[in-house]
């Protein structure tokens, strides 16, 4: 029978890669961030893996935030994933009652930062989708879709559609 001690994850800190079991991983997270799960509405939770960001749990729900300043001052996100320093920082979507499934994914340094109404979009890469207003769009690459005003578009590669 497998236990939590049998499963491992790779962790890189300060350039050192190590393998730790899930129990130790959980202890490391909770020792640097005493509260990780934040209730939002109707029994939902935001998951925040950062001890230096502010996520308003009344304006976002059922969303995963990981990284320095990730999701800081973001509004309207539900069922979304924001990973990386400043990913989704000051980004907003019109969803005041959190009634709509926004389901955006921002991964990378400043991915989706200061974007507006970029619901149901995927931005992957440094500054991908930064300052964009582009719903239902996919931008992959360094600065792909940065400042884009194109809904329902795909941009792949450095500076694509910016």
Residues 31-54 pLDDT 10s: 554 457 788 887 888 988 876 678
The model's pTM is: 0.79
The share of the chain scoring above pLDDT 90, in percent, equals 59
CB 126 within 8 A of CB 107: no
Q: How far apart are CA 27 and CA 51, in angstroms?
A: 14
- Alpha carbon dihedral 30, 33, 37, 38, in 10-degree steps, equals 150
DSSP codes joined into one string, 19-48: EEEHHHHHHHHHHH-S--EEE-STT-EEEE
User: Contact, 74 vs 61, CB < 8 A?
Assistant: no
Per residue in 90-107, pLDDT (tens digit) is: 999 999 999 999 999 999
Reported as a pLDDT band with limits 50, 70 and 90, residue 1 is low
């Amino acid at each position: 029978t497998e236990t939590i001690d049998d499963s491992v994850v790779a962790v890189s800190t300060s350039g050192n890669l190590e393998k730790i079991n899930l129990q130790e991983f959980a202890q490391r997270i909770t020792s640097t961030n005493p509260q990780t799960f934040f209730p939002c509405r109707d029994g939902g939770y935001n998951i925040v893996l950062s001890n230096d960001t502010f996520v308003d749990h009344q304006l976002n729900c059922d969303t995963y935030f990981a990284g320095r300043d990730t999701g800081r001052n973001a509004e309207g996100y539900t069922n979304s994933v924001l990973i990386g320093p400043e990913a989704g920082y000051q980004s907003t979507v019109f969803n005041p009652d959190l009634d709509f499934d926004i389901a955006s994914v921002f991964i990378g340094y400043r991915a989706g930062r200061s974007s507006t109404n970029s619901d149901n979009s995927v931005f992957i890469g440094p500054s991908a989708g930064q300052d964009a207003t582009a719903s239902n769009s996919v931008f992959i690459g360094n600065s792909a879709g940065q400042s884009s005003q194109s809904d329902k578009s795909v941009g792949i590669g450095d500076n694509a559609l910016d």
